[in-house]
With several copies, the nearest count.
Chain A
Amino acid sequence: MAELTYRDAVARAITQEMERDERVVLLGEDVAKAGGVFKATVGLYERFGEKRVRDTPISEQAFMGAAMGAAMTGLRPIADIMFADFAAVCFDFFANEFPKLRYMTNGQLGCPLVIRTANGGGARFGAQHSQSIENWTMMIPGLKVVAPSSPVDVIGLMAAAIRDDNPVIFHEHKSLYATKGEVPDGEILDTLGTAKILRPGKDATIVALALMVPRALAAAETLAAEHGIDCEVIDVRSLVPLDTNTILNSVAKTGRLFTVEENPRLCGWGAEIASIVADEAFWDLDGPIVRITTPHIPLPAADHLEDLALPNPPRIVERIARTMNGSAR
């Protein structure tokens, strides 16, 4: 057991898997010699050498494509998108190439790779470097999508992602890199498609992801202490596959659902979950489903405005308390 940052957990996970499997390789802009712009891959170049850990030009299409071509033919590449926003410059690979290959070829070819992104806001980087793009990836059939909230989950889910035979988009949250958590020694391997109940509760279910998880947890404590509302907090962890059982069971118990989403409102991942619950758990619901999201706006650079935009514990508390105490609207 040791305390590790989320940032260091990334390097530990990749180390674990690179030691285990020669086919695992890492590529991206400044990931090798410099250890990544968020320092999440420090030491890998030194340990595994330039054959396995490679710097690329600013050619996201080239190295996403290269990762795919290598994956199709026998390697297990991990490719790095420096800021999640840049997925847009190589989105053809996310939307049309990685996820459709197996289907279009009727199973002749697969695409076992992991794309890491530094996702999300909070760093005052402005509209083009701060987005939460988990819904950009969730909406594409054929991808798997993971977004861990803690160091131990980073390791276990990254290991699972690397061993998975599908293209997995692994969203690291840039505002979590400096956070710490206890991590057991030895190999860690988790399972994709499993949500975690981080706080049991009986009055309402809060579903959150990545940076929103600690915020939802903090809000739940306040809601319990100050409003007598006992919330169950679920860390979704994996958007695809989605652990609907855990969510539906929780709603069956609590009768209420709140989502806390960093993505801008429209077509966020919470909308999907809301729609599943509004269909399959409708008769369990005791009141409206409420989504707490970043407003449907680009993100501002200014710190006080960015803080205002992303869901935070006071806003979560206020919205849940108001909904639980009041009427439908």
Chain B
Amino acid sequence: MANKQDGPGPQGLTNDDIGQDVRLELYRIQVKIRDAEKRANDLFFQNLIKGTSHLSLGQEAIAAGVAVAMEANDKSFCTYRGHAHTLARGVSVEKVLGELMLRDNGLMRGKGGSMHLTSVEHGVMGSYAIIGAHLPIACGSAWRAQYLGEKDVSVCFFGDGTTNIGAFHEALNFAVIWKLPVVFICENNLYMEYTPIGDVTAVEHPAADRASAYGLERILIDGNDADVVYRTAKAAMDKAREGGGPSLIECLTYRHSGHSRADPAKYRPPGELEKWLEKDPLKIYRKRLAEYGISESDIAGIEAESKRVVDEATEACKASPPAPHELLTTDVYADGGWAWRN
């Protein structure tokens, strides 16, 4: 990996800073996310997913690029739009879909729901559904690493809209002054729920244009190119791991579907979606693989395997019962129960 290059290109594998294994992994994860998210969408329309769900269709390159750049001990802090990041860290499709379907086989057996996916064994330290809160929480995890001399990096994902809430500002300043090993990834998909981010933000690039307010480098990247995301995230994580402090990375992207399951996204200007579908991360990456000489059959193999996994997971979820009633009152307190009195 000596030959660093700025943009991806078909130089052939010998001259490739990323390498075939990583590249295949990047594709595999993107495909897995795409298929699982599409399935989630179908299941919702079959009325098998209750409550809400927030898909990352179109944003797969960010989840994949960052996750592949992470080491096993690194920690992810996600939002309600966290299926992608959870899957990217290696959590099974069944456990994610099971949670979306609020079944006993879900990651939290249905207690948390789609907005709170957590898998500590995979380093997924929770998904937080109140905008802003997890930025300081990620700082705390990074502080623990610094304090204990542990070498992991905490990574925090959030959207463009999140940059306008107070906790964003507090967390960024805090991370810098304590020089914490934390990487903030802003997925700028151009919208908060239904409101274009430009309508409510004083600067064009809600994260990158504010980096200087915390003495940070301005980092703005193409979030639909997994290689670019991977390289940028890797550099930021290396820096954090070596004691160089936090980074803030703004990834430009677009969500193909509405904000949540309930949103048909009618507020979009005509043509916008189509333009971004041209830049679909899977399309880009499939082409990339071919350019790097991966065979069509290898690519198709990845895709087929993903479909198989998602189908199997779906069946397993459908077969899973809901959690037993006793679960209602477990784990409120550390003793496992909910007793607030004697």
| A interface residues, Cβ below 8 angstroms from B | 25, 29-30, 33-34, 37, 51, 54-75, 77, 85-86, 88-89, 92-93, 96-97, 101-110, 112, 123-129, 141-142, 144, 164-166, 193, 240-245, 265-266, 276, 295-298, 300-305, 308-309
Task: Determine if A58 and B325 form an interchain contact, defined as CB atoms under 8 angstroms apart.
Answer: no
Segment at the A interface, from B11-19, B114-122, B218-226: B114-122
Task: Determine if A300 and B174 form an interchain contact, defined as CB atoms under 8 angstroms apart.
Answer: no
Q: Give every chain B residue within 8 A of A30 (Cβ-Cβ).
A: 192-195
Q: Give every chain B residue within 8 A of A242 (Cβ-Cβ).
A: 340-342
Q: Bound complex: CA of A93 vs CA of B125, how far in Å?
A: 16
Q: Give every chain A residue within 8 A of B341 (Cβ-Cβ).
A: 193, 241-244, 276
Pick from A74, A110, A240, A300 the residue with the most CB of B within 10 Å. A300
Complex: chain A residue closest to B117, CB-CB: A105
Task: Determine if B140 and A71 form an interchain contact, defined as CB atoms under 8 angstroms apart.
Answer: yes
Q: Give every chain A residue within 8 A of B134 (Cβ-Cβ).
A: 65
Task: Determine if B102 and A66 form an interchain contact, defined as CB atoms under 8 angstroms apart.
Answer: no
Known contacts A57-B173, A61-B167; 15 additional CB pairs below 8 A are A57-B161, A62-B167, A62-B173, A65-B134, A66-B139, A70-B144, A73-B145, A86-B131, A106-B111, A126-B113, A129-B52, A141-B332, A295-B329, A300-B328, A301-B102
**Interface residue? B200 (CB, 8 A):** yes
Task: Determine if B111 and A297 form an interchain contact, defined as CB atoms under 8 angstroms apart.
Answer: no
Task: Determine if A65 and B167 form an interchain contact, defined as CB atoms under 8 angstroms apart.
Answer: yes
Task: Determine if A104 and B147 form an interchain contact, defined as CB atoms under 8 angstroms apart.
Answer: no
Q: Give every chain B residue within 8 A of A193 (Cβ-Cβ).
A: 341-342
Q: Give every chain A residue within 8 A of B322 (Cβ-Cβ).
A: 302-305
Task: Determine if A70 and B129 form an interchain contact, defined as CB atoms under 8 angstroms apart.
Answer: no
Q: Give every chain B residue within 8 A of A305 (Cβ-Cβ).
A: 110-111, 322-323, 325, 327-328
Task: Determine if B192 and A93 form an interchain contact, defined as CB atoms under 8 angstroms apart.
Answer: no
Q: Give every chain B residue within 8 A of A165 (Cβ-Cβ).
A: 334
**A309: min CB distance to chain B, Å:** 6
Task: Determine if A70 and B332 form an interchain contact, defined as CB atoms under 8 angstroms apart.
Answer: no
**Interface residue? B135 (CB, 8 A):** yes
Task: Determine if A69 and B192 form an interchain contact, defined as CB atoms under 8 angstroms apart.
Answer: no
Task: Determine if A105 and B112 form an interchain contact, defined as CB atoms under 8 angstroms apart.
Answer: yes
Q: A242-B340, A242-B341, A301-B102 are in contact. Are A65 and B109 (CB under 8 A)?
A: no
Task: Determine if A66 and B174 form an interchain contact, defined as CB atoms under 8 angstroms apart.
Answer: yes
Task: Determine if B174 and A57 form an interchain contact, defined as CB atoms under 8 angstroms apart.
Answer: yes
Q: Bound complex: CA of A110 vs CA of B141, how far in Å?
A: 13
**Interface residue? B132 (CB, 8 A):** yes
**B164: min CB distance to chain A, Å:** 4
Task: Determine if B51 and A58 form an interchain contact, defined as CB atoms under 8 angstroms apart.
Answer: no
